[in-house]
Structure 1
Amino acid sequence: MDSLLVSIYSIALILLGAYLILRRRYSYWADRGVLHDKPKLIFGNIREFGRTKALFIIIREYYMKYKGKAKYVGFYLFIRRTILILDLELIKNVLIKDYEYFPNRGTYYNEKDDPISASIMHLDYEKWRNMRVKLTPTFTSGKMKFMFPTVVDVATQLVEVMRDAHESGSFEMGIEFEDIIARYAVDVIGSVAFGLSCNSLKNPEAEFKVMGEKGFPCKHNWLVHSFMNSYPNLARKLGVKYHFDDVGEFFLRIVRETVTYREKTGTQRKDFLNLLIDLKNSDTADPITMEQITAQAYVFFTAGFETSSCTMSFCLYELALNQMVQNKLREEVMEVLTRYEGKFTYEAMNEMKYMEKVLNETMRKYSIVPFTLRRAIKDYVIPNTNHVIEKGMDVVIPIDALHYDPEYFPNPEEFNPERFSASEVEKRDSMSYIPFGDGPRICIGIRFSRLVIMIGLVMILRNYRILPTKKTEIPLQFSLRKFFMGSRNGIYLRTEKIS
């Protein structure tokens, strides 16, 4: 009986201690006189996330509620204290002008226990800068041209799979496009980043696709995930990993085997992995390790897979609903290809200017990464105020909310590629449209992501007209549980063969 009482007493003390710590944590913005919504215990300001609202909708509503009342507001991501920036000039300061205060993303990685998590996307400043210098030459226009034929080969397979489905009649009733485009993205990035024929277009259960999807979300629940990001050093000491063990082991194994084979046989391929191998063998002063090669190839896969496949799926959805836009885009594709005697080349793709507008408008309306984070590495006094963004504080840049602000984009729900004509772009502050972030830590894979999407769209549009079906959701419902933007019930469309 005594031991039971001791146990109950101990548990009560632990719960009381946790409550007092959280209460103190949740009083942070109130103590500093910063506008904010009163947080809910454990959930912070995102209690509705995963229940009734997607996270990007919560942040968008929060932005609209306080815009015009303040340039920044306090915001609690579960137990994580953040400051949400509403003012474009302050956003520019954080991302560009005063970047030296905010060089980190504030996302968790564990280089020792979970090496594939230590990618250029997550690394802190010194390690990130060193890796960025090494990798930047691999993302030039010249390197994109180098990879172009590999992507076209996979896009050709995509059209073949669509043709088989179309001839079987299944596309007449509508096929879930998000899945088939995801498989295209897996095959492209698997080929380019790992030098493998993943074959997920023809085999949806291919191991590479399964492992990639398993590795993309954090292995832990939202509470542990919030703890990892709030207390990264403690989490590393405890050996907390982001990924499942089998995911890390799978990708480390296939990279090691592929690199070893290529070095022994002298095999050369037009892909990202080949560039990493060249980097490994040429930089004798500070050679890149096999674990680092795997981490960079892995993030190339996970980040590129989600963003490219979702953006391309949403673009096809909008083209199906906006036939005039689709017709104009197809006319451009056909006209450019005619000038190149029907040959689809890197130079031909770069002449498709309306395609650029369509893609830009898709990324405005569907910000796959709806917000980006920066973490202060030293105290930052917000200009013209007495408020300080303290060292270790996370800053939220609400990308999706900016893209839906009617001040910058009138009638934001409308899909209108002409928003990105030269005259319209000149009217807007450059910080109002930042689908890939901005500043030194802007996404390094912008060119490649556009390459994958544009090649896929060209190959589809020159062969098929995309149409809605009875199963097409209008408007689309979005997943409530993803941190990224994704459809809840899939994107159902049908095809009609172009004569």
Structure 2
Amino acid sequence: MEFFKILLYTIACILFGIYLVLRKRYSYWAERGILHDKPELIFGNMKELGRTKSAFKIVQDLYMKYKGKANYIGLYSYIQRALIVLDLELVKNVLIKDYEYFSTRGIYYNEKDDPISAHLFNLDYEKWRIMRIKLTPTFTSGKMKFMFPTVVDVATQLLDVMRDAHELDTSKTGSEFANIIARYAVDVIGSVVFGLSCNSLKDPGAEFRAMGEKGFRCRHIWLVHSFINSYPDLARKLGMKFYFDDVSEFFLRIVRETVTYREKTGTQRKDFLNLLIDLKNSDTADPMTMEQITAQTFVFFTAGFETSSCTLSFCLYELALNQMVQNKLREEIMEVLTRYEGKFTYEAMNEMKYMEKVLNETSRKHSIVPCSLRKAVKDYVIPNTNHVIEKGMNVVIPLDAIHHDPEYFPNPEVFDPERFSSTEVKKRHPMAFLPFGDGPRICIGIRFSKMTIMIGLVMILQNYRILPTIKTEVPIQYDIHKYMKSSRNGIYLKTEKIS
């Protein structure tokens, strides 16, 4: 009996200690006079996450609530603290002007126990800088031009799948396009990154796609995820991982087998993996390890297929609902291809300026990456204030909220590509539209992502008119359990063959 009394007393003391620590942690913004919503124990400001709201919806609501009242506000993401920037000039400072203070994203990685997490997107500044220099040559316009025919080949297979879906759609209720487009993106990136046929278009259950999608899921609940990002050094000492073991093992195996085969046979392919193999063998001072090669191929595969597939799916959704826009885009495609004697080339694609507007408007209305993250690497005094963003503080740039701010984009729920005419763009603050972020850590794969989407659009719209069905959601519902924007219930559209 005495033992249980001592045990209960000990547990009570521990719980009370945790309560005091959390109470102190949740007083941070109030003590500094920075506006914020009152936090709840354990949840902070995220109690509705995954219940009624997504993470980006929570941030968007806070943005609209406090915009005009402050240039920045505090946020408690469970036990993690962050500053949300509302003012575009301050956004510019964080991403570009004062980048040296915010040169890392502050996202957890563990090179030792979870090697695929140590990729370009996550790495801290010095490791990121070295890796970025090595990888930049992969994404030049010359490399994109070389990859162009490979992507077109996969898009041709996409048309075969669409033809089959069209012929099977006897009731004219349409097909679930998010799934079809995701398979296209997997096959494109698998071919260009690994030089492998992922076969996802022909086999919806292909392992590559399954592992790619699982690679976007955190193995921990949000509270634990918040802990490892708040205390990364401790989490590394505890051997905590971000990715599931089978995902790591799959990509490590694929890369190891492919690299070993190419080195033994002398096989050369002008793909992303081959560049990394060259770096591994030529840079004697700092050669890339197999784990580093896997991490970089992994992030380009997972991030590339998710952003490209979701953007293209949302674009087709908007074109189905806005037939005048679709007709105008198709007219541009046919006019440009006529000038190139019917040949679809890299140069022809780059002349499709209205398509660029359509893609920009899709990225504005459906911001696949809704927030850009930074972490202060040293104390930063916010200009014209006495507030300090302390070293180690997370900073959130609410991209999706900015893209839906009626001050910058009137009637933000209306799909209007002319928002991106040169005249309209000049009227806006340069930080009002940041689909790929900005500054030194802007997304390295912009060109490739756009090329994948544009090739898909050209091939589809040449052959089909995209139409809504009775199953098409208006407005579309987003998955509240995912950090990136994707449809919750699928995107149902139907096709009409163009002679």
Task: Bin the TM-score by the shorter chain.
Answer: over 0.9
Query: Which runs of structure 2 are paired with 1:276-425 in the superposition (5 Å)?
Result: 276-425=276-425
Q: 1:30 and 2:30 equivalent?
A: yes
Q: Deviations over 1:23-49 (max 9, x none)?
A: 111000001111111111111112111
Name the amino acid aligned to 2:489.
N
Provide the secondary structure at the position in 2 that maps to 1:164: helix
2:215 and 2:243 in contact (8 A); partners too: yes
Provide the secondary structure at the position in 2 that maps to 1:432: coil
Q: Deviations over 1:120-175 (max 9, x none)?
A: 00000110011011011111111111111111111111111111111222582111
Q: Deviations over 1:313-340 (max 9, x none)?
A: 1000000000000000011111111111
Q: 1:56 and 2:56 equivalent?
A: yes
List structure 1 segments (4+ residues) > 6 angstroms apart after TM superposition. Answer: none
1:171 and 1:494 in contact (8 A); partners too: no
Q: 1:429 and 2:391 equivalent?
A: no
Supply the distance in 2 between the matched residues of 1:225 and 1:55 (Cα, whole angstroms).
13
2:156 and 2:459 in contact (8 A); partners too: yes
Name the amino acid aligned to 1:176.
E
TM-score computed with the length of structure 2 as normaliser: 0.98
Q: 1:97 and 2:69 equivalent?
A: no
Where does residue 483 of structure 2 map in the other structure?
Answer: 483
Name the amino acid aligned to 1:407.
E
After superposing the two structures, state which structure 1 stretch, 273-282 or 172-181, moved more: 273-282
Where does residue 244 of structure 1 map in the other structure?
Answer: 244
1:312 and 1:453 in contact (8 A); partners too: yes
Name the amino acid aligned to 1:63.
Y
After superposing the two structures, state which structure 1 stretch, 117-126 or 142-151, moved more: 142-151
1:358 and 1:417 in contact (8 A); partners too: yes
Provide the secondary structure at the position in 2 that maps to 1:447: helix
Q: Offset at 1:404?
A: 0.6
Q: Offset at 1:190?
A: 1.2
Provide the secondary structure at the position in 2 that maps to 1:81: strand
Supply the distance in 2 between the matched residues of 1:329 and 1:84 (Cα, whole angstroms).
37
Name the amino acid aligned to 1:427.
K
Supply the distance in 2 between the matched residues of 1:86 and 1:154 (Cα, whole angstroms).
41
Q: Offset at 1:345?
A: 0.9
Provide the secondary structure at the position in 1 that maps to 2:172: helix
Supply the distance in 2 between the matched residues of 1:478 and 1:332 (Cα, whole angstroms).
31
Where does residue 128 of structure 1 map in the other structure?
Answer: 128
List alignment gaps of at least 5 residues for structure 1: none
Supply the distance in 2 between the matched residues of 1:318 and 1:67 (Cα, whole angstroms).
29
Name the amino acid aligned to 2:345.
T
Where does residue 467 of structure 1 map in the other structure?
Answer: 467
Supply the distance in 2 between the matched residues of 1:420 and 1:189 (Cα, whole angstroms).
28
Supply the distance in 1 between the matched residues of 2:66 and 2:405 (Cα, whole angstroms).
12
Q: Deviations over 1:249-307 (max 9, x none)?
A: 11011101111111222222232112222222232221111111110000001111111
Supply the distance in 2 between the matched residues of 1:428 and 1:142 (Cα, whole angstroms).
32
Name the amino acid aligned to 1:401.
A
Aligned residues: 499
Q: Offset at 1:428?
A: 0.8
After superposing the two structures, state which structure 1 stretch, 274-283 or 205-214, moved more: 274-283
Name the amino acid aligned to 2:103.
P
After superposing the two structures, state which structure 1 stretch, 484-493 or 49-58, moved more: 49-58
List alignment gaps of at least 5 residues for structure 2: none
TM-score computed with the length of structure 1 as normaliser: 0.98
Q: Deviations over 1:106-129 (max 9, x none)?
A: 111000111100000000011001
